[in-house]
A and B are shown apart, each in its own frame.
Chain A
Amino acid sequence: MSRKLLHHGFRAFTALCALLACSILGWLIFAIARRGWPAISWQFFTEQIRLVGASGGIFYNLIGTGILLLTAFITSSPMALSLALLHGVYLREGRWKRALETLLYVINGMPSIVCGIFGLIVFVQFLGWGKSWLSGGFLLGIIMLPTVTVALMERIASLPVRYVEAATGLGLRQSQIIWSIILPQSLSGLVTGSLLGLARAAGEIAPIMFTATIFAGATIPHGVKESPVLSLPYHIFILAQDSFDPSVGAKVWGTALVMIGLVFVLSLIALPARLKMHEEAHHD
């Protein structure tokens, strides 16, 4: 009898935990959607900021975040491909392979504000770029690197061995095997990994606040030096610090809703496929 009681009690307790966790998070979405929705209109996307965020829209913030993310994708892809190839093809089991994994763990756990300080030293000061979209994009690329690399590594590891064996049997060289078999077959890993990585990078402020982004007065950058961009998360960050003006308030919530929408769209394209792959891996 007491066994049964314990069983039901325990199950109820864990269910309660799950319910509480989900409802905290559900409330969060609801709170933002409810307040942000009234601010959303066509003009909100096509106009630039006016009156310190109290009026106008977020056009150049969207452009700026777009530029940063595109740069981050372009920076992270070659590095991720290289690291994944090293891990899956070139390196044998042993010290170097473990070092590479450790490197990924360290980058993944790196506080993003430390990346920002690093960028301030290297790009802003040593190279004398001032605030520039390029340094922000590079730093965001580093931030998303582990996510992309691990997705690629998993894809490469799950390739059937007979593909490579068949290619070797046909007399292909290692680099030919990489370009004709491994890379085309693991393209989906690059795409899903990048989408998830970009979703994470899109909301980061700490790496770009000193290096790439300003609150107002930037449009489309024309060079590298002294060419900052606006961005969505920094806009929210600045306005959140003094949102007493109700009209500013409405715009902040609107921007927050757009931000969440962007992140969710990026991850939703990638997540189901990736999770399914994980699940299958677990059942082997």
Chain B
Amino acid sequence: MQRRFSFTRLFSYSFSALAAGTVVAMFVLLILQSLPVWQHEGLSFLTGTKWFYRQQQFGAAPMILGTMITAFTALLLAAPLGIGAAIFTSEFLHPRLRLTVKVVIELLAGVPSVIYGLLGVLFLRNWIYDLLTPFDPLSGDTLLTGAVLLAVMILPTVMTLADDALRGVPVIQRHAARGLGLNSSEVALHIALPQSVRGLLAALLLALGRALGEAIAVFLVVGRQDNQWPYRLLSMQPLIQSGQTITTKLASSETNIAYGYPLHWAAICGLALVLMVMVAGITLISASFSRRHVP
């Protein structure tokens, strides 16, 4: 076919380039603007445990740890519940009712994070404080509070994507299995679950990405205490004291303060870069598991 000038083609390519350019610019800008801190701290930006910006000390390890702890704990809490619930909706629930449940779940996935934050501030914080009384906590603002809140927030995502993955298993295979005498639980356990493992993993990773990148709700309940590096890494201790995650640091007023000071600003951009790389990595792994689940 002969190709002549087409306004529509030009339009499509230029606006697509704008979208792609914005994302590329994000990476490039964050790398460039964070250069000073990499020169100043080197790798100890990632491993250092002290963040005192007045002393020009920038160690992000406690925040990276805080991010990991809250996100993984949240996933640990949400995954069994979400997948269990998804098995129920996809395998046992009547199809018509299933669509209703699905609408409800999708609605709840859209509840803004600040609403979760508000409920966290006014309820969850006190509940966690009461729950932790035997450990004598300083307040209800702990990494655990953030994790529980995140778990509730990612629950709809886990549920709805896991349900999609399970529904993706062909009906004909279920029929065949039922014909062989398996009951519906056995079909779920031996046919649907094993076949949708990739989809389920993709769902969990996507939820993990959400949890890692969530800022506002965690900001309100996590205590935002800097330099909380635990004495023992493998213990409950970091979970039940207040801490800081990368996102809560970025959302704090320090971001506004930092701009006038090149090194401090570079440190903030470095944090954003670390977060972006972590989340983009997880998103891409999730995408490679299943090339279908962009919501």
What is A's interface to B at a CB cutoff of 8 Å? Answer: 3-4, 6-7, 10-11, 13-18, 20-22, 24-25, 28, 31-32, 78-79, 81-83, 85-86, 89-90, 100-118, 120-122, 125, 142, 145-147, 150, 173-175, 178-179, 196, 199-200, 202-206, 209-210, 233, 236-237, 240-241, 243, 252, 256, 259-260, 263-264, 267-268, 271-272, 275-276, 278-279, 282-283
Contacts and interface: CB of A to CB of B under 8 A. Distances in A.
28 contacts: A4-B183, A7-B183, A7-B184, A7-B186, A10-B185, A13-B84, A14-B85, A17-B85, A21-B81, A21-B85, A32-B119, A82-B12, A106-B23, A109-B209, A109-B210, A109-B279, A111-B276, A112-B213, A117-B250, A117-B272, A118-B26, A121-B269, A150-B294, A203-B114, A205-B215, A233-B216, A236-B114, A267-B110
A113 B249 CA distance: 10
A203 B113 contact: yes
Nearest to B295: A147
Contacts of B105: 25
Given A113-B213, A240-B117, A267-B110, A6 B185 contact: yes
Contacts of A200: 110
A11 B250 contact: no
Contacts of A142: 19, 22
B92 interface: yes
B251 A206 contact: yes
Given A10-B185, A18-B85, A82-B16, A233 B114 contact: yes
A11 B123 CA distance: 32
Given A271-B106, A283-B171, A106 B284 contact: yes
Interface string B274-289: 0110011011101100
Contacts of B272: 113-114, 117
Interface of B: 6-9, 11-16, 18-20, 22-23, 25-26, 29-30, 33, 80-85, 87-89, 91-93, 99, 101-108, 110-119, 121-123, 152, 155-156, 159, 164, 167-168, 171, 183-186, 188-189, 206, 209-210, 212-216, 220, 247, 250-251, 255-256, 259, 268-269, 272, 275-276, 279-280, 282-284, 286-287, 291, 294-295
B118 A113 contact: no
A28 B107 CA distance: 12
A3 B189 CA distance: 13
Contacts of A122: 25, 29
Nearest to A31: B119
A11 B85 contact: no
A203 B108 CA distance: 13
B16 A79 contact: yes
B60 to A, nearest CB: 15
Given A83-B16, A206-B215, A271-B103, A114 B26 contact: yes
Of the listed residues B91, B156, B216, B220, the one surrounded by the most CB atoms of chain A closer than 10 A to its CB is B216
A20 B196 CA distance: 23
